[in-house]
Chain A
Amino acid sequence: MIGVLRRDLALAMRAGGGFGLGLSFFLIVVVLVPFAIGPDTSILGRIAPGILWLGALLACLLSLDRILALDWEDGSLDLLATAPIPLEGVVLMKAAAHWLTTGLPLVLAAPVLGVLLNLPVPGYGWLTLSLALGTPALSAIGAFGAALTVGLKRGGLLLSLLVLPLYVPSLIFGAEIARRGAEGLAIGAALPLLAGISLASLAIMPFAAAAAIRVNLR
């Protein structure tokens, strides 16, 4: 199973692998926001947690269809489905590879981009923590969406529509943690709820995704 992870990471890093796609999209969104909103630093500071979370979520969404579509096109998915390693494990490793190449760079870049949006100082730690806790759920749910739409031509739009409602809880709690942190309020229940969503997604989604792949391969 580690082999699947290693191969996906190697593929993402090589030319045409799509590494940095999400990161550059995130960068573009965050850099453009001050131009669109205007230079009022108090407004920027207030919307910064939400914008950063939204940007990270959309950047994640952008690369979801690569999780499985490429393997379906070249026949690897058929072969992996008949291999001795469980398909659930394959999906989990693929979600992990997606997080390492998309989610983790976003987590690391967010505090830097927070400066551009005048994020209040107490918010940096909470923003990073909430993204670190929340983005694994985005990758796991995304892998499920990719499994549902694998084999569909131009399935990207359908994938986004299927996945977005499932992303909403992570977005609400993640942005809430960052906002409360930035305003110096108590974080409260949002943190355990976000962590709970991530853990539940990681536990359930590989099984749901593997079932969806088996149906789609028929």
Chain B
Amino acid sequence: MLTVSGLACARGGVPILENLSFRLSAGAALVLRGPNGIGKTTLLRTVTGLQPPLAGQVDLAPDAVAYAGHADGIKAMLTVTENLRFWAGVFGTKDLAPALAAFDLERLTDRFAGTLSAGQKRRLGLARLAVSGRPLWVLDEPTVSLDAESTALFAKAVQRHCAQGGAALMATHIDLGFEAESLDLAPYRARLPEPGADDFDEAFL
């Protein structure tokens, strides 16, 4: 489903990852590991196409990715249903009920999103993936502010998604309690350019 080969990516003009290659096939989940600042978010943004790679290739069917970043993209002045219905409309799907059920949001449907707790907002943000109907979920720290029970709900949703032929690529530090490959990014850290390297243009930036 996703093939990354020889990928190098940069953050703020500084190369941070290089020579990264991996494959993710349908039905699998891949967890990215590595210390803060290693480039997990940058890699995920490169895979989703939000930023271009420095080198290498990301091979992926068009319109296959649903991305969930650090921010949930929730409008405080819309209700839970309105928020979800908007994203369902954007992705051209209709049925909200399974997503609401999967993330235990059924009792909150008429609440304004601004009045939800941090964990509830996060669940709403993740429910958006379920209404997107996209096969590849790209998740950046999906379990932040989720309690143990909600984390289990999330793990179950990912498992169900993979069982239905989807795939998930996520950066997380916690153990989700199901079988997933993991990829440590530390060996792919980009070497720092030698001091005084001869990039003439860079000197003026």
Binding site for B on A (CB under 8 A): 2-4, 7, 10-11, 14-17, 73-76, 78-85, 217-218
Size range of the interface on B? 20 to 34
Decide: A10 and B63 in contact? CB cutoff 8 A: no
Q: Please pick, from B67, B82, B91, the residue contacting A78 in the complex, using a CB distance under 8 A.
A: B67
Residue interface mask B82-115, A partner, CB < 8 A = 1:
1000110111100000000000000000000000
| Set of chain B residues within 8 Å of A4, measured between Cβ atoms | 90
A82 touches B77 (CB 8 A): no
Check B90 against A14 for contact (C-beta < 8 Å): no
* Pairs of residues from A and B, 7 with the lowest C-beta to C-beta distance, nearest first: A75-B71, A3-B89, A76-B73, A218-B51, A14-B77, A75-B73, A79-B73
* Cα of A17 to Cα of B78 in the assembled complex, Å: 11
In the assembled complex, the Cα of A2 lies from the Cα of B87 at a distance in Å of: 12
Residues of B within 8 A of A217 (CB): 50-51
Closest to B52 in A: A218
Q: In residues 42-92 of chain B, which contact A (Cβ within 8 Å)? A: 48-52, 63, 65-67, 69-75, 77-78, 82, 86-87, 89-92
Interface hub of B72, B75, B78 (most chain A Cβ within 10 A):
B75
CB distance B71 to A78 under 8 Å? yes
Contact A17 B77 (CB under 8 A): yes
Q: Which residue of A lies closest to B72 (CB)?
A: A75
B89 touches A75 (CB 8 A): no
Which chain B residue has the least Cβ–Cβ distance from A217? B50
Contact pick for A75, options B51, B52, B70, CB 8 Å: B70
A10, A73, A78, A84: the one contacting B90 at CB < 8 Å is: A84
Instruction: Check A82 against B65 for contact (C-beta < 8 Å).
Output: yes
Task: Using CB atoms and an 8 Å cutoff, list the residues of chain B in contact with chain A.
Answer: 48-52, 63, 65-67, 69-75, 77-78, 82, 86-87, 89-92, 128
Residues of B within 8 A of A14 (CB): 77-78
- Which residue from B67, B74, B78 sits with its C-beta under 8 Å from A82? B67
The contact of A74 among B48, B66, B71, by CB within 8 Å, is: B71
> Smallest Cβ distance from B158 to chain A, in angstroms?
19
Q: Which of A2, A7, A10, A16 has the most CB of B within 10 A?
A: A7
Tell me, rounded to whole Å, the shortest Cβ–Cβ distance linking B51 to chain A. 4
Cβ–Cβ < 8 Å partners of A73 in chain B: 71
Q: What A residues does B66 contact at CB under 8 A? A: 82
Q: List 18 A-B contacts (CB under 8 A).
A: A3-B86, A3-B89, A3-B90, A7-B75, A7-B82, A10-B78, A11-B77, A16-B77, A74-B74, A78-B69, A79-B67, A79-B128, A80-B90, A82-B50, A83-B91, A84-B63, A85-B90, A217-B50
